[in-house]
């Protein structure tokens, strides 16, 4: 698979802003089940193998899962404060849980989910054993003591989201440059990218 032309721009931005802890955070917008926008901050968990697909870990009990089942498209917005670069990446999002029904992709997807689980810190993994996110919190309710064997595989609440980009809007405020990258699929099912320079 040919490397997406915008991917190197993103890798350069990640490297030049790597000293800033927040450079691995971006906003993920989805369409709520009520038709309204729904947005939150998530953590970049790398690209899926040698592709341009972006990985995000999430709790399967969170609202975004129901939203993505309703409409599988989303957009991330990523701003790098040192280099003054913004990436808006739009595409379809696959949900990978512990019971993915696709037999052809099952083994690969389960491996990706497990790899992402073990790449996370133990503290991050413990979050998936807590109370349901977004549910009312009872003031007298205290979080029970949770322990997790570090060698144990992903728990049921751990989901991997994989965003497959089809459009990238890149803005560099230092150079006053804006590029729109759009993908199309060829007759041989190969993804191809075009780029257009537009006004910032």
Instruction: Kindly indicate the confidence band of residue 148, based on its pLDDT and cuts at 50, 70 and 90.
Output: confident
Between CA 200 and CA 181 the distance in angstroms is: 14
Q: Are 91 and 76 in contact (CB under 8 A)?
A: no
The mean-pLDDT minimum among 4-8, 66-70, 118-122, 163-167 falls in 118-122
pLDDT tens for 13-28 read 999 999 999 999 999 9
Both tokens of 119, joined, read 């790449």
Residue count (the chain):
200
Between residues 118 and 168, the one the model is more confident about? 168
Q: Are 44 and 20 in contact (CB under 8 A)?
A: no
pLDDT at 105: 60
Question: 128 CB contacts (<8 Å, ≥6 apart)?
Answer: 59, 155, 157, 158
Both tokens of 36, joined, read 């309204």
- pTM for the whole structure: 0.86
pLDDT at 141: 59
- Please give the average per-residue pLDDT across 168-190, as a whole number: 94
pLDDT at 85: 98
User: Nearest 5 degrees, angle CA 65-CA 62-CA 51?
Assistant: 50
Let me know if domain 7-132+151-198 sits in CATH 3.40.50.720.
no
pLDDT tens for 31-60 read 999 999 999 999 999 999 889 999 999 999
The mean-pLDDT minimum among 1-10, 36-45, 101-110 falls in 101-110
pLDDT at 169: 98
Between CA 63 and CA 70 the distance in angstroms is: 11
pLDDT at 113: 85
Both tokens of 22, joined, read 């927040």
Question: 27 CB contacts (<8 Å, ≥6 apart)?
Answer: 39, 40, 41, 42, 76, 77, 78
What are the residue ranges spanned by the domains of the chain? 7-132+151-198
């Amino acid at each position: 698979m040919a490397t997406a032309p915008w991917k190197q721009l993103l890798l350069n931005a990640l490297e030049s802003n790597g000293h800033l802890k927040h450079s691995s955070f971006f906003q993920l917008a989805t369409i709520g089940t009520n038709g309204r926008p729904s947005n939150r901050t998530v953590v970049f968990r790398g690209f899926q193998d040698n592709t341009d697909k972006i990985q995000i870990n999430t709790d399967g009990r969170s609202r975004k899962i129901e939203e993505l089942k309703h409409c599988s498209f989303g957009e991330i917005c990523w701003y790098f404060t040192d280099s003054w670069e913004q990436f808006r990446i739009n595409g379809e999002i696959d949900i990978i849980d512990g019971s993915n029904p696709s037999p052809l992709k099952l083994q690969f997807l389960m491996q990706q989910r497990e790899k992402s689980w073990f790449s996370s810190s133990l503290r991050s993994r413990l979050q998936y054993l807590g109370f349901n996110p977004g549910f009312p919190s009872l003031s007298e309710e205290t979080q029970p003591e949770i322990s997790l064997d570090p060698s144990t595989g992903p728990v049921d609440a751990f989901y991997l989201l994989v965003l497959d980009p089809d459009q990238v809007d890149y803005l560099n405020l230092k150079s006053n440059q804006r590029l729109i990258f759009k993908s199309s699929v060829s007759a041989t099912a190969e993804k191809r990218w075009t780029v257009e320079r537009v006004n910032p």
